[in-house]
Structure 1
């Protein structure tokens, strides 16, 4: 697709405000794009009221049933008293369509992200994740099924190899490194039962948490799906030298609500490899979106790919250090 033909090019400020006003709100023409790459998210000013957040889903990423499953999960968590940001229900609906875009509206939350590595914050984050997992312990979201880690690694790496982004000089070493990671990941994952898969946030880094007056609220369940519990914990481990202290706080907070199988800690290595590879494939897949060349101007430089390969090799060489 030519970047000029990308569907988000038709998402003008007037389109955003028309969509919000179609739900009964009166916009005051103050519109601010927020930091979201996958979707388009805006703070929309409302006359004589607090601003709202309007999220426009990327066309052709999720189908209606998958988006609605996310909304249903959020509404159920919120109804159970879990601190999550849920879409506003209007006339019995949370998902709306305007032109070719599906969108949702939510209330704006004030606050800031937790501090990376702050042990008190990690304890609270563990509590929040534990409460989410406890509330959803019996859920099975068929619209967002578990996809094996190996399958995700293979699909993403094969996509990277099918593009022209990876320099030819690095091709053979990249293939070898991916094969090494797949072998290590397969050996690790074979020790785990898929029956332990459960509902997870799926992308629970600290930017998806708002801290306000001591209360943490979980945001952006766009990647929610079935997976392993440790997936929602490991991204808060920011310093390998402090991993034991950080894990201790996360798990202690988590277990106030939900027991944690520490055997899952061995999955952190495959999950780190998966996220690294998927992130690079994601940029490549979205390159036709005109926002991405602006956001990642270094992506086409050989230095980016040398660093990416080096990161993968470091993951391979340090395998097992997280547990």
Structure 2
């Protein structure tokens, strides 16, 4: 099974067989959820609550890395931290069917946070602080963030293919070089002596307000990184984004002190995310789900907009610095 068509054999019968291999009995209701890197389905269960089945993209994470993610979530759940942990059957949370790892978790019903709600931003800061406090030791199996290397590799992959129009490649290379140079200067000025365990992708869609409490979902990208990585994604372009930042940090510091020097790294992580997103789409473009979901990726208009976004990263550099 090639990585480009990793889920080509994941048809309904296979999905249900996998779920039922855990001992549950499905009622044959399957509803696909919005996920592209992995495949995620809502599965109806006879005489029981609906579950969420997550099938991991083969060759992305090792079995040891996934198990470390699961162990972290189960420990957080034991500590009453509001996360959604995988379900355990006979002492196991990770299973394999037809060569694909999968897990099951309870279905959570609720709403995502409101982008500009300051009260909610304070609560999100509290939740992230609580998660970081309980994940008090770095991961031993997961990756560690390396912004300069990740930006460089992502740009290299983009330039090596023909999705980016040839006439735009010199402009792209020049813009990337500027952002990498700016990032290198920031990192040379400050980088923590030790990285910490973080969620790694704590955007609004990975948070759910359930029974009056926010829950952090989907630890698929958990890694060793910097605390501000789990904070800056909640800052939107409003009249006063610094107030948003202040609310997040105040909530965070209810559990842990926040190193203000990390604010100078927001521009680095913002630029890295923009660059890596385009590289991710390109890398997965042979997956039919990506072609269907992102048909505009192969257009010149997409790349012009991408260049504009990269330029904005440069123009807005320093917006959140101390």
Name which of structure 1's ranges 237-246 and 128-137 shifts more when overlaid on structure 2.
Answer: 237-246
Deviation at 1:112, TM superposition (A): 1.2
Deviation at 1:253, TM superposition (A): 0.7
- Counterpart check, 1:268 vs 2:266: yes
Q: 1:155 to 1:110 in 2, by over 3 A?
A: same
- Counterpart check, 1:124 vs 2:120: no
Deviation at 1:240, TM superposition (A): 4.9
In structure 1, runs of 5+ residues without a counterpart are none
SS at match of 1:50: coil
- Counterpart check, 1:27 vs 2:26: yes
Question: Match for residue 98 of structure 2?
Answer: 99
Question: Match for residue 313 of structure 2?
Answer: 315
CA contact (8 A) 1:125 1:216 kept: yes
Deviation at 1:2, TM superposition (A): 8.6
Deviation at 1:61, TM superposition (A): 0.6
Alpha-carbon distance between aligned partners in 2 of 1:31 and 1:167, rounded to the nearest angstrom: 40
Question: Match for residue 88 of structure 1?
Answer: 87
Deviation at 1:26, TM superposition (A): 0.6
Alpha-carbon distance between aligned partners in 2 of 1:110 and 1:301, rounded to the nearest angstrom: 37
Alpha-carbon distance between aligned partners in 1 of 2:96 and 2:2, rounded to the nearest angstrom: 24
Structural mapping, 1:30-179, within 5 Å: 30-137=29-136, 139-179=137-177
CA contact (8 A) 1:83 1:217 kept: yes
Name which of structure 1's ranges 238-247 and 41-50 shifts more when overlaid on structure 2.
Answer: 238-247
Deviation at 1:285, TM superposition (A): 0.3
Question: Match for residue 200 of structure 1?
Answer: 198
Tell me the TM-score normalized by structure 2.
0.97
Alignment partner of 2:279 out of 266, 278, 281: 281
Question: Match for residue 227 of structure 1?
Answer: 225
CA contact (8 A) 1:202 1:223 kept: yes
Cα deviation code 1:171-211 (max 9, x no counterpart): 10100001100100000011223324100000000100110
In structure 2, runs of 5+ residues without a counterpart are none
Deviation at 1:34, TM superposition (A): 0.4
Alpha-carbon distance between aligned partners in 2 of 1:241 and 1:197, rounded to the nearest angstrom: 32
CA contact (8 A) 2:147 2:268 kept: yes
Total equivalences in the alignment: 321
Alpha-carbon distance between aligned partners in 2 of 1:50 and 1:213, rounded to the nearest angstrom: 17
SS at match of 1:217: strand
CA contact (8 A) 2:235 2:241 kept: yes
Deviation at 1:7, TM superposition (A): 2.6
Question: Match for residue 8 of structure 2?
Answer: 9
CA contact (8 A) 1:82 1:131 kept: yes
Alpha-carbon distance between aligned partners in 2 of 1:183 and 1:241, rounded to the nearest angstrom: 29
